[in-house]
């Protein structure tokens, strides 16, 4: 039996083993370098995802790995952290790449290299994305200066190998990410050619969402006694699931805050918990939702007991409508009037989904679980469906008409309640009687309903949200023809147009260091322009700047308006974001 398998019984399991997300495990116990632990803490990650928990220890021990995991499971960190650890442990500085990550598309090359860069920030890791469609000169210069991790599409990697500009001699790790996609896109030959030029001593990690025969063949040829990590395996279905209505909405990242608002408006939950992946996301979403007029409270692992108690108290006495929490913080939480669980992100493992939604539908009460799914996350949804043995209802996001209908329904329900309770309306009789001299009774009733409705429903500025669907749904979709080295690929990854067709991203020259919070940006934009808070999409705040998604049609107006105003007492520069 391989040593790592007995050392890490949960980390080296095969498809038959399921993961328990309640296992106490933190990043430090995985054996990671302090600089990496610090970077993860900076990002607000509270605990490793199942794939990270299971893959990182054997990878740090130098094993090869065959991982079956989809996007959204945290697999990028699962391979990036061991790579970065290798860099930290390098005896001497070396300008030749220590790791080569092969990915199917240009978008993924950019995403993965950004992720590796983020995790390796404190080690000053030099990461270079290498893909077709970008002038090769730029890549040549960067490679010549020295690079630690190259993230490349296979075609472009082959080009560089042919030119002699990619030196694989010092390579410690090769990662094949989304191997099935790479094969589907016709990169098999390129992959074989690249792998044949790597030194024998390197460690190989192969990740694939599916495991067709060709992947098995590839792993036989290129992996040496690999650890197998399989996520989302079937067989752990929950037989006695409580009565929970489970639905999912497909939304782009940019429209998520607006979509969450719409869901809350339509569902009108008595009390809801919204789950996010990281502490930072919890804080930002709480700010955003408060900026949009909801009473949200944050709960995460960075808070002490006293703060947690205060939050729970506000939820119990209903001064807060909404709890925004990480999985860790919500563990053991028991809120008896909770009616809705909302997954702001699809959880990284089906088991966490079951844990999350298990917080509603208790004691025979009906519960609702709503999941916001991004178009590329169809595999995570499938894994959850397999695990729970239940299909998720994938619904269109409620429209403005749905919202209006729902508000009208609430008004009707309120009036009906008041009509059944004779006592409470009696003191208004004089008002009706005095008006009835002048007006028809039906007209008086209509006016009363209108006043009641308007005071209940609030301002009516709802905007239609774009309708999007899951990628590869129903097996259709069609793979793009082989991307080759020179053409940017259109397949498999989200593009900027997918982030919400009619949204633009603005760069604002002030960030966390200037004390900027999402509510400040929403406030400034809504206060200075004709844009309402609800039209503002995703907000990302970094240390030195912020990015805000706004309707394309109003972007210029906002830029002009903010030129003449201040945010948090300071002048800021606002322009269209060029970077992505």
| Residues making contact with ligand AMP (CB under 6 A) | 45, 48-49, 52, 71-77, 277-278
Smallest separation (angstroms) from ligand AMP to the CB of 74: 3
Name the 3-class secondary structure at 305. Answer: helix
Distance CA 232, CA 386 (A): 8
Smallest separation (angstroms) from ligand AMP to the CB of 376: 9
Helix segments in 368-428, DSSP class H: 378-388, 400-420, 422-425
Smallest separation (angstroms) from ligand AMP to the CB of 73: 5
Smallest separation (angstroms) from ligand AMP to the CB of 105: 13
Distance CA 375, CA 473 (A): 9
Beta pairing, strands 272-275 & 566-567: unpaired
Distance CA 339, CA 322 (A): 11
Q: Of the two residues 74 and 291, which places its CB atom closer to ligand AMP in the complex?
A: 74
Q: Of the two residues 276 and 323, which places its CB atom closer to ligand AMP in the complex?
A: 276
**What's the Cα-to-Cα distance from 103 to each of 98, 132, 249, 485, 497, rounded to whole Å?**
17, 12, 28, 12, 21
Smallest separation (angstroms) from ligand AMP to the CB of 454: 41
Token pair, residue 440, equals 């028809």
HSE on the CB side for 579, CA within 13 Å?
Answer: 12
Q: Of the two residues 72 and 491, which places its CB atom closer to ligand AMP in the complex?
A: 72
Distance CA 345, CA 280 (A): 14
Residue in this structure with the two tokens 């919070």, named with its chain if needed = 517
Smallest separation (angstroms) from ligand AMP to the CB of 213: 25
Q: By the 8 A CB rule, do 522 and 288 touch?
A: yes
Smallest separation (angstroms) from ligand AMP to the CB of 322: 20
Find the helix packing angle between 106-119 and 34-43, rounded to 10°.
Answer: 110
Name the 3-class secondary structure at 535. Answer: helix
Find the helix packing angle between 188-196 and 154-163, rounded to 10°.
Answer: 40
Q: Of the two residues 48 and 58, which places its CB atom closer to ligand AMP in the complex?
A: 48
Smallest separation (angstroms) from ligand AMP to the CB of 53: 9
Q: Of the two residues 100 and 271, which places its CB atom closer to ligand AMP in the complex?
A: 100
Smallest separation (angstroms) from ligand AMP to the CB of 364: 33
- DSSP designation for 109: H
Q: Of the two residues 100 and 531, which places its CB atom closer to ligand AMP in the complex?
A: 100
As a whole number of Å, the CA-based R_g of the chain is 26
Q: Of the two residues 294 and 344, which places its CB atom closer to ligand AMP in the complex?
A: 344
Find the helix packing angle between 378-388 and 350-357, rounded to 10°.
Answer: 70
Q: Of the two residues 76 and 203, which places its CB atom closer to ligand AMP in the complex?
A: 76
Smallest separation (angstroms) from ligand AMP to the CB of 344: 12
Q: What is the side-by-side order of every strand in the sheet holding 340-343?
A: 296-299, 322-325, 272-275, 340-343, 367-373, 244-250, 393-395
Smallest separation (angstroms) from ligand AMP to the CB of 250: 17
Distance CA 70, CA 55 (A): 14
Q: Of the two residues 73 and 208, which places its CB atom closer to ligand AMP in the complex?
A: 73
Distance CA 193, CA 204 (A): 15
Distance CA 539, CA 465 (A): 17
Distance CA 234, CA 242 (A): 20
Beta pairing, strands 539-541 & 546-551: antiparallel
Helix segments in 44-105, DSSP class H: 50-60, 75-88
Smallest separation (angstroms) from ligand AMP to the CB of 486: 26
The Cβ of residue 562 has, within 10 Å, a number of other Cβ atoms equal to 23
Q: Of the two residues 211 and 448, which places its CB atom closer to ligand AMP in the complex?
A: 211
Q: Of the two residues 294 and 353, which places its CB atom closer to ligand AMP in the complex?
A: 353
- Closest residue by Cα to residue 346 from 385, 303, 398: 385
Smallest separation (angstroms) from ligand AMP to the CB of 75: 5
Token pair, residue 513, equals 């260091």
Distance CA 33, CA 123 (A): 10
Q: Of the two residues 71 and 105, which places its CB atom closer to ligand AMP in the complex?
A: 71
Query: What one-character-per-residue DSSP string does 243-274 give?
Result: SEEEEEEE--GGGHHHHHHHHHHHH--SSEEE
Q: Of the two residues 80 and 143, which places its CB atom closer to ligand AMP in the complex?
A: 80
Distance CA 245, CA 425 (A): 36
Q: Of the two residues 276 and 562, which places its CB atom closer to ligand AMP in the complex?
A: 276
Smallest separation (angstroms) from ligand AMP to the CB of 345: 7
């Amino acid at each position: 039996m391989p040593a790592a398998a007995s050392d890490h019984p949960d980390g080296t399991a095969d498809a038959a083993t399921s993961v328990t997300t309640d296992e106490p495990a933190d990043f430090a116990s995985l054996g990671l370098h302090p600089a990496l632990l610090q970077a993860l803490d900076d990002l607000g990650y509270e605990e490793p995802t199942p794939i990270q928990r299971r893959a990182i220890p054997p990878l740090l021990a130098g094993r090869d790995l065959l991982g079956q995991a989809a996007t959204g499971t945290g697999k990028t960190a699962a391979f990036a952290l061991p790579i970065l650890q290798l860099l930290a442990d390098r005896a001497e500085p070396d300008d030749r790449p220590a790791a080569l990550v092969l990915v199917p598309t240009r978008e993924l090359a950019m995403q993965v290299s950004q992720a590796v860069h983020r995790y390796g920030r404190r080690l000053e890791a030099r990461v270079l994305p290498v893909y077709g469609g970008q002038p090769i000169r730029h890549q040549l210069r960067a490679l010549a200066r020295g690079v630690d991790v190259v993230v490349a599409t296979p075609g472009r990697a082959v080009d560089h190998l042919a030119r002699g500009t990619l030196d694989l001699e010092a390579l410690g790790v090769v990662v094949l990410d989304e191997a099935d996609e790479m094969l589907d896109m016709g990169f098999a030959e390129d992959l074989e050619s690249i792998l044949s030029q790597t030194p024998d001593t390197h460690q190989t990690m192969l990740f694939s969402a599916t495991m067709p025969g060709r992947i098995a063949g590839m792993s036989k040829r290129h992996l040496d006694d690999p650890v197998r990590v399989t996520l989302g395996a079937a067989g752990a279905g929950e037989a006695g699931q409580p009565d929970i209505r489970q639905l999912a909405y497909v939304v782009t990242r940019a429209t998520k805050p607006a979509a969450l608002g719409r869901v809350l408006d339509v569902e009108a939950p008595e009390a809801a918990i919204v789950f996010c992946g990281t502490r930072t996301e919890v804080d930002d979403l709480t700010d955003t939702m408060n900026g949009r007029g909801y009473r949200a409270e944050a709960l995460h692992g960075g808070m002490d007991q006293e703060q947690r108690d205060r939050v729970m108290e506000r939820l119990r006495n209903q001064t807060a409508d909404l709890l925004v929490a990480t999985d860790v913080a919500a563990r053991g939480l028991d809120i008896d009037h909770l009616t809705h669980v909302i997954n702001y992100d699809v959880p990284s493992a089906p088991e966490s989904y079951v844990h999350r939604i298990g917080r509603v539908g208790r004691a025979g009460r009906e519960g609702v679980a709503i999941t916001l799914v991004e178009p590329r996350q169809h595999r995570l949804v499938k894994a959850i469906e397999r695990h729970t043995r239940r299909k998720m209802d994938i619904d269109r996001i409620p429209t403005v008409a749905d919202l209006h209908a729902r508000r009208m329904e609430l008004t009707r329900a309120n009036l009906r309640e008041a009509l059944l309770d004779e006592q409470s309306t009696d003191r208004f009789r004089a008002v009706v009687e005095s008006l009835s001299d002048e007006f028809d009774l039906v007209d008086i009733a209509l006016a009363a309903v209108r006043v009641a409705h308007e005071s209940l429903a609030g301002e009516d500025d709802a905007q239609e949200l774009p309708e999007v669907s899951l990628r590869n749904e129903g097996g259709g979709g069609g793979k793009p023809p082989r991307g080759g080295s020179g053409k940017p690929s259109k397949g498999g990854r989200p593009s900027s147009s997918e982030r919400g067709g009619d949204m633009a991203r603005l760069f604002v020259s002030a960030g966390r260091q200037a004390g900027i919070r999402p509510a400040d940006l929403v406030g400034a934009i809504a206060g200075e322009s004709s844009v309402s808070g609800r039209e503002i999409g995703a907000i990302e705040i970094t240390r030195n700047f912020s990015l805000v998604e706004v309707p394309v049609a109003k972007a210029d107006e906002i830029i002009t308006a903010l030129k003449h105003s201040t945010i948090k007492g300071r002048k800021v520069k606002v322009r269209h974001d060029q970077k992505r």
